[in-house]
Amino acid sequence: MAKKIPSLLLKNGQLATLQDDGEAFGLIPDGSIIVRDGIIEWVGEESDRPSISSDIEIDLDGRLVTPGLIDCHTHLIFAGDRSDEFEARLNGVSYSDIAQAGGGIFSTVRSTRAASEDMLVQTGTQRLLRLASEGVTTVEVKSGYGLDLETECRMLRAARRAGAATHLDVRTTYLGAHMVPPEYTNRRQDYVGYICDEVLPAVVDQDLADAVDGFCEGIAFTTDEMDAIFEAATELNLPVKLHAEQLTDQGGAELAASHGALSVDHLEYLTEDGVIAMARAGSVAVLIPGAFYYLREHQLPPVELLRRYNVPIAVATDLNPGSSPVFSLLTAMNMACVQFSLTVEEVLAGVTCHAASALGLPDRGVIKPENIADLAIWDVARPAQLVYPVGLNPCSGVIKGGEIIAAPEGQVQGA
């Protein structure tokens, strides 16, 4: 059911608005939402609702409504399979050893370079629809499995096309600084120059990316190398973000913060100095419990430090073929609570308002007037029921920009 309508009323629901009004979850126990031309016009208690005529009404019958969920870190455009590496890690081979032996990201690079754009669109669309079935309305998709101009642009185009084939907003991020490709072995600086001088200008010229990312790690790129790439991105008016402090402390968070990064992601080895730098820059901390789980890590991200310095915390799937083949944002939310001790309110904010900030999107993630009407409807009585189970999807309705993608059966009235 995909229907764009001029005006829409949702009534008799529990609204977890995520507004910062002093109430947990910004909860309105018996609330209504008025949507007009895809934008939230009014939200509040049912008893205070203005008398209006609407084209369609949805009686929520006590169901929970949240902002549409946002998966702010994925690598879901790829080809190939790395289940063999999963098995190798179970047998004691480390992620770093696999990468240094030519596997890991390089394995996916070989498969993705050989894949057609249409195939990448087809598989990417399937993955997006799986996320959408759980109330996700916005997804960030990174490149980084091409490491050359042709394949990186093909990935970014495929991500945009897959978004157009679904009802999701897709934000694309150029991640050429994922690994140094084999053809540039022993020529690292040449590859950094290639990114800055050739690939980034081409990506901008073709309007394919909304941001630039990199992997700052001992097995990937140094802070000096990322500094040069971020300088080039800034000159081209592209915001930046960074994979940092996942496996070791490289000082990546401070480097990213110095460039005003939208977000810094992973962060298991983040130091207090890095937290302070992120707080000053307003960068969001994106936690990735799926990779922590699959790589069987033990170093927890410093959640207490992030709380102390009021750094916003987002949560994402990191959906990728190697270190986090997690196709469910609800599962990632559960993992973040169980593994990282986030509260239910923190994790819900982490996939709505804070995830929106991590993508530089102030027009969503909170149910409030003037925001885009991206909403998820749930067959649950309280927010904790979204996070408590694994393998259960209670999403019964999705509204994307005022368009009814799905709605509770029998609850829609109007034309």
Q: Return the SS3 of 212.
A: strand
Band of the pLDDT at 204, cuts 50, 70, 90? very high
pLDDT above 70 covers a percentage of the chain that reads 99
pLDDT exceeds 90 at position 97 = no
Element (H, E) at 223: helix 223-235
pLDDT exceeds 80 at position 35 = yes
Band of the pLDDT at 410, cuts 50, 70, 90? low
Q: Which of 173, 102, 186, 183 is nearest to 147 (CA)?
A: 183
Cα–Cα distance between 239 and 237 in angstroms, integer?
Answer: 7
Residue 1 is predicted with a pLDDT of 46
Residue 99 is predicted with a pLDDT of 78
Residue 167 is predicted with a pLDDT of 87
Q: What does the pLDDT look like over 320-343, one tens digit per residue?
A: 999 999 999 999 999 999 999 999
Domain boundaries in the chain?
Answer: 3-67+366-414, 70-358
Give CA torsion, residues 393, 394, 399, 404, to 10 deg: 100
Asked which of 28-37, 78-87, 126-135, 171-180 is least confident by mean pLDDT, the reply is 78-87
pLDDT exceeds 80 at position 2 = no
pTM for the model = 0.96
What sign has the CA pseudo-torsion 182, 216, 303, 238?
Answer: negative
Mean pLDDT, the chain, integer: 95
Looking at the structure, give the CATH architecture of the domain made up of residues 3-67+366-414: Roll (2.30)
Q: What is the mean pLDDT of residues 270-280?
A: 98
Q: What is the mean pLDDT of residues 33-60?
A: 93
Q: What does the pLDDT look like over 18-29, one tens digit per residue?
A: 999 888 999 999
Residue listed under structure tokens 């909860």: 27
Q: What does the pLDDT look like over 338-368, one tens digit per residue?
A: 999 999 999 999 999 999 999 999 999 999 9
Q: What does the pLDDT look like over 277-294, one tens digit per residue?
A: 999 999 999 999 999 999
pLDDT exceeds 50 at position 69 = yes
Looking at the structure, give the CATH architecture of the domain made up of residues 70-358: Alpha-Beta Barrel (3.20)
Residue 361 tokens read as 């999107």
Mention every residue, 6+ apart, whose C-beta is less than 8 A from residue 117: 154, 157, 158, 161
DSSP character string of 125-146: HHHHHHHHTTTEEEEEEE--S-
Q: Could you tell me which residues are beta bridge partners of residue 170? A: 139
Band of the pLDDT at 153, cuts 50, 70, 90? very high
